[in-house]
Each structure stands twice: as C-alpha cells, then as structure tokens.
Amino acid sequence: MATQITILNNDGIKVDDEFHINWADKGESMPTLPNTIHAVIWNNLLGQNEIQSKDPATGNMTGNTNLNATSDAVGSTTIAALLTWAQTRRDEIEASYKAFDDAGAGAEGTASEGKTWKDY
C-alpha cells in the first residue's frame, strides 16, 4: 500500500512523493471527493497532513481540517482507502507502460497495433 498521497482535486495526484498521476489518468475506481475539497495532503514531509477546503462557487479557500490517522474521513472515504487506491492505480499504470513497451511502441508514441499505453 502507498504510504503518502497528495491530491489536488481535479488536477493531479502524487503517490509516495515520487509517482505522479494526471487527473485524466486517475481511472474510474478512485473514491469520489466532494467539490468542496481543494487538496488532500497525507505525507511524512514537513507540515500538517490536512484537507484544504474551498468554496466551489468562488474557488476561494475556506479552511483546513487536520488529518491525524489513516482512518480519518475525506468526504465519504478515508485516507487508508485513498492510499490503497493509489497503490493499485500506480501498479496498473506501471503495468500498462510495460505492456506498451513490450508491444513495441513506435516513435510517434503508439504501439505497433495503434494502441496507446492507456489501452493496456
């Protein structure tokens, strides 16, 4: 399971402070986050682990909620569920890259049969 996650809602996800997932590549199994969440930070870097909230109508920040345990709620999910999802999605993406490479990706970024890595 992943141990760190930073989510910028509708932007991107960083897993274990090294693997970046573009928002478009998050897949359909990611737990849904409310549109009142700007960011979720759970890591071992300096600073507070927290949920940064926003007003969805204006985009203005409305405050932070400290996170203290992986059982803490983030909308209708938990940090633990997000960490598990992040590890699974990372593994899926890395396996897709490998399958894509094994299929013989060409210079234009597609495998010989015309698929992109997202197809694997």
- Could you write out the DSSP letters of every residue in the chain? --S-EEEETTTEEEETTTEEEEGGGS-S-SPP--TTEEEEEESSSSS--EEEEE-TTT--EEEEEE--STTSEETTEEHHHHHHHHHHHHHHHHHHHHHHHHTT--TTS--TTS--GGG-
Give the domain ranges of the chain.
Answer: 5-111
**What pTM was estimated for this model as a whole?**
0.84
Quick: pLDDT tens for 58-114: 999 999 999 999 999 999 999 999 999 999 999 998 888 776 666 665 545 555 555
